[in-house]
Structure formats: structure tokens, C-alpha cells
Structure 1
Amino acid sequence: MARWQPDAPGRLAAAALDLFEEHGYESTTVIEIAERAGLTKSTFFRYFPDKREVLFDKGTVTGLLVEGIASAPPTAEPLDAMADALDALGRTFFTADRREFSGRRQAVLNANTELREREALKRIDLTASMIEALNRRGVPALTARVAAQLGALVWEIAYDQWIDTDNREGFGPLARDALAEVRAAGALR
């Protein structure tokens, strides 16, 4: 693979995923990832601080969710703003062409404690960003915290369903269905 080809971060992530599946996360080196992608070690470090980060989106999901919350109609209730943000995420990031990669990525994460810890930290940061975005909309702090936590739960449910190889429904509709289930569960007494 020629070094001049575009999308070096994507190529590095694909190479890392292949190697993590073939040899395991612990046994794969940054040099092997860079070589598999047809790049150099210094190019790897231009995009990622270490091999843990190569499978994470560098804030893309967080940015899309925050933007989606901010662009929801001014009259939208907090959970409706979350739903709008999750719909936007499904249209722009969790698209059909990313489903296979995402499922494979999740399997690698599930097989490695260090990567699961990193994923958990990323989700905490994601939730904190959603709280801040809701606060900027004028949502009271406690309400924003609950809505963001529920939004994160909805995201997780929808994502797990979306990467399921037997499922072909889009992320946005899955998120809407999960939100309806969460709302129904909240009505239980």
C-alpha cells in the first residue's frame, strides 16, 4: 500500500483491527500496525498517542452528539434533544458501511480489559459532554445529568443492536426504539 494514499487514520485503524484479531492486542506493536497500513511509526504517532487509541474515534462521536443536542429545536425536551442527536449520529457516523468494522472492533474491545477500560472512560467523557451541551440549552443540572445518563444508556443499547450481524436496521431507528423502551421503563411503578 502506497504511503501517499488518503485516510491514514482509517488505514491505521483497519490495520490495527486486523492485527488485534490475528495476534491479539497485547502481541501487536505500533510498528506492525504502521507497516500493515503501509505507513511509518512516526505517521502512526502523528494521529494516535498510543496503540490503545487507534480504535477510538478521537472525539468524533462526542462532537456529533454535542452538535446534535445544540441543533435540536429550542422547544425540544431534554430527551427529545438526545433523540435528535442520536438520529444525527446514525445518519453521519454509524452508517451501514461502518457496521462490520464496528462489530469487529467491539469484539476486540470485549476481549481485552485495557481496551474495555478505555471504552468506559470514553463513555464517561461522552456523558459529561452531553450534560454540558444540555446545560448550554438551559436544562437544569440534575435534569441534564439524568437525560445524558439515559441518552448514554440508549446509545449503548442501540449500538449493541446495530452491530449485531443479524440486524440490518439503522442506528437512528434503533436509538428511537431504545429511547421508547427507556421511557416506558421509567413509567413503571
Structure 2
Amino acid sequence: GQLPINVDVRIVSATNTDLDELVKENRFRHDLLYRLKVVTIKLPSLRERVEDIRPLSDRFIAMACEEHGRRIDSVDPGCYQVLENYRWPGNIRQLKNTIESAVIMASSRSLIPEDIRLDPPESGRDEDVQIPANMSLAELERIAIITALRRNKGNQLLTAEELGVSQRTIQRKIKDYNLPFTNHG
């Protein structure tokens, strides 16, 4: 133990915190900042790089398929629309997890928009909800029903109450849209 050992290391790190500001507030050591801050790459958030979502998604699909022994042969274009219209507060990590979940939970070898499970906007304001311009009212209704059914663990009564319709309406819509939910609740 007391002999010095030479090491050659590189540290790659990322933060969404303004370290210069923390140094000014004496909450981060300036000597450490200058040791770490050799090369700085500022990467805009994913919501500012919508054009990257499709290639990243394709890569994450391939990775998830390999990791989980799944096979996805096609991706419905609506999936990309849903992904490109989301704000991604968790950035690329959230996109990767969302894609991995979709691959794992997909009921076929084709990803469809319903396989994409996104967290609702945190603020709940209308302007945070972005709907693809070419999405039909029927498709919006279908997605709303699927989302509510999932949130209510398939309970049709709770889903009906949440959506402000009768349980009979939910049962009819499940049949009309051929949704994979059994009659319970």
C-alpha cells in the first residue's frame, strides 16, 4: 500500500445540471470541474432533434429484439408519428425504455401504435398533448379506450367511469375495435 501507482484513465460523463452555476454557488468544486471539463459536447434534448427519433427507435428495436429473443418484422408508420409527437422529458433513456417495453409487450411481430406506452404529460395542459394531424377521430377514440383499459387493468366499469361513458359503450367499442380485453369488471 504506500507506493504510488500510475494510471491512465478517461472520464466520460453527462449532466443536465449547470456545473458552472454550481461552482459559483460553492456547491461543486471548481478544481474538479476544470479537471473534468476538457472536451464539452452540448447535445440538445431529444424533443429538439425529432429527426433522430426514427433511427434511434430502429436501433433500440434491434437491440431489444436481440436482448429479449423477440422478432419484430415491421413497424407501423403510426408508431413513428406517436414517438415524434411526444415531448420526451426523459430524453433518449426514456425513448429506449419505451421501445424496449413495446418490443417485449408486442402481441405480434409488427409494432403498432397501441404497443407504444407513453407517460401522460406532467402538466396536464392541453398544449402538451400533440396529436398527429392525419389521425382520425376513430383512431383517437381507440387509443383513448386502450389507454384507459390498460390504466384500469382491463376493468371495464372503471374505464367507463374514467371516460364518462357507460360500461355497455366500452363493451361495444371493445367489440367494434376488436380489442384484446376480456369482459370483466
**TM-score, normalising length from structure 2?**
0.28
* Larger RCO, structure (CA 8 Å, separation 6 or more): 1
More helix by share: 1
Report which of the two structures shows the higher radius of gyration computed on alpha carbons: 2
* TM-score, normalising length: structure 1: 0.27
